[in-house]
Amino acid sequence: MQKIFLIIKREYLTRVKKRSFLVMTILGPLLMAALFIVPVYLATRTDEEKVVDVVDETGWFIHKFENNDNYKFVPLYTDLETAKETLKSSKDHALLYIPLTQVTVPSSAILYSDGQPSINLKSYITGVMTREIENQKLAAEIKKEIQRRNPGYKSNESEETLISETILKNIKSTITLTTIKIEEGGKEAKSYTELSMAVGLFGSIMIYFFIFMFGAQVMRGVIEEKTSRIIEVIVSSVKPFQLMMGKILGIALVGLTQFLLWVLFTAAIVTVVQSAFPEKFKQNNTEQGFAPGSQMMPATQTEKKDQATAAENPSNEIFEAIHSINYGAMIGAFIFFFIGGYLLYAALFAAIGSAVDSEADTQQFMLPVTIPLIFSIVMAQYVINNPDGPLSFWLSIIPLTSPVIMMIRIPFGVPIGDLALSAGLLIAGFLGTTWLAARIYRTGILMYGKKVSYRELAKWLFYRS
């Protein structure tokens, strides 16, 4: 064990002193902190108001566009060419032209702008026009129905318009869907499907990235020592298995150190930014108090109040969602599945490195080893849409895919039995791949100048010491 510790120490210190380690240790927390800070900043940021001129020859839509924090719609009662000249001289953002068509219902519009209009502006304009056309069609059908049911009814334009507007106003509805998760013991908690999807996908991609990055370091390290013939000196003092385990565990500690530093630095950066800009990160909690003798607010009024509060303070929803994450459980699961997945794949990478003489020769052996990892990322979208399905279950249990898939499932809620089974099989998988890799490593590490095939690797597995 002492020799393994010495190898671990050498591998660890050699890598943490590299400039690349320091650079990634600094950049990582900045990027992770940005994931927390940028959404809140964007939710509270108000862009400069942009003016959009509107020339509506139909007269249907000119007063239907509502001003907001980003855009101000100004109606122009002039022809198109004059409006274009006005756009150039006024430096307004855009000109919306709705031509009068030969058909009864207008179906097109043109947006003139010096630059590329935003997708939000285009979506808003098309949405307003679509709704107005639908309202006009519905109003026309209502008038027809009134006249059909009352053949002797004399047409009254103002009365029909009032009836149509009243009906249209009453049928408009806004649906707010809140998801509540019923936990064990009957406890209810608000859940955020979109956030669970983002957190699970982020954790799985990070594990995928770490396994590839640090596993490749193990393979390159073995190849370098083998091609430089340093390995011949090292194995005279330690056994090949001790050397392999020391290298794998040493690089694992490097990855774990970097991840923990990322967590600490990210938390520090977020805390500093929150302290520097408290007004941006303040969550407005609207508590409902009842004075003596007061009546409870009806459910419909409460829902409307909640919707209005969310609309006025969009950052509240973001804060509530971020605070709902169980960071302790997520970080603990990430560390376990990262270490387990890394140890499993690093042993295979070390075996590949010992079997070849150069990095170019690794391609034929890398593909079978990395296919399960790549397949896990490919299946990520399916697992997100169906985290409790049978395929998601088996992919989160099989050791070669469980590190990535289980990180996707955990934010959606995983039974303790599934988690324990996945963890146990991952440990067993690591032990099994380590045994196989050690059989290949002890022979391949001293083999030079020979192109190794899969048949040759199979023979090495059964060589006796």
Same domain? 241 vs 325? yes
Hey, what amino acid is at 370?
T
- Identify whether the C-beta of residue 259 lies closer than 8 Å to the C-beta of residue 338: yes
**What is the enclosing helix (H) or strand (E) of 110?**
strand 110-113
Residue partners of 324: CB distance under 8 A and separation at least 6: 189, 190, 191, 192, 195
Same domain? 109 vs 57? yes
Same domain? 244 vs 267? yes
Model confidence pLDDT, tens digit, residues 177-231: 666 666 666 666 666 677 778 888 888 898 998 888 888 888 888 888 777 777 7
Distance in angstroms (rounded) separating the CA atoms of residues 287 and 300: 17
Same domain? 200 vs 338? yes
Distance in angstroms (rounded) separating the CA atoms of residues 74 and 92: 10
> Which backbone phi and psi does 287 adopt, to 5 degrees?
-90, 145
Is residue 225, in this structure, part of any structural domain at all?
yes
Same domain? 223 vs 133? no
- Rounded to the nearest integer, the mean pLDDT of the chain is 77
**Residue 19: what pLDDT?**
84
- Identify whether the C-beta of residue 33 lies closer than 8 Å to the C-beta of residue 273: yes
Distance in angstroms (rounded) separating the CA atoms of residues 45 and 398: 45
**Residue 192: what pLDDT?**
66
Same domain? 381 vs 430? yes
Tell me which residue range forms the domain holding 369.
2-40+192-282+300-461
Same domain? 380 vs 246? yes
Domain boundary among 117, 150, 167: 167
Question: Number of folded domains in the chain?
Answer: 2
How would you classify residue 199: left for phi > 0, otherwise alpha for psi between -120 and 50, otherwise beta?
A: alpha
Bridging pattern class, strands 94-98 and 179-182: unpaired
**Residue 234: what pLDDT?**
73
Same domain? 399 vs 263? yes
Is residue 87, in this structure, part of any structural domain at all?
yes
Segments in the chain below pLDDT 50: 284-312, 314
> Residue 334's Cα: distance from chain center in Å?
16
Residue partners of 359: CB distance under 8 A and separation at least 6: 219, 220, 223
Same domain? 150 vs 196? no
**Residue 302: what pLDDT?**
43
Nearest by Cα to 429 from 351, 344, 342: 344
**Residue 365: what pLDDT?**
83
Residue with the two structure tokens 């919707």:
307
Half-sphere exposure of 226 (CA within 13 A, CB side): 28
> Which backbone phi and psi does 292 adopt, to 5 degrees?
-55, 130
Same domain? 365 vs 444? yes
Is residue 160, in this structure, part of any structural domain at all?
yes
Is residue 402, in this structure, part of any structural domain at all?
yes
Is residue 175, in this structure, part of any structural domain at all?
no
Same domain? 58 vs 34? no
Name the pTM for this structure. Answer: 0.64
Model confidence pLDDT, tens digit, residues 433-450: 888 888 888 777 777 767
Nearest by Cα to 109 from 122, 118, 92: 122
Same domain? 205 vs 120? no
Domain boundary among 106, 132, 167: 167
CATH of the domain at 139: 3.40.190.10
168: tokens are: 């249209």
Distance in angstroms (rounded) separating the CA atoms of residues 273 and 275: 5
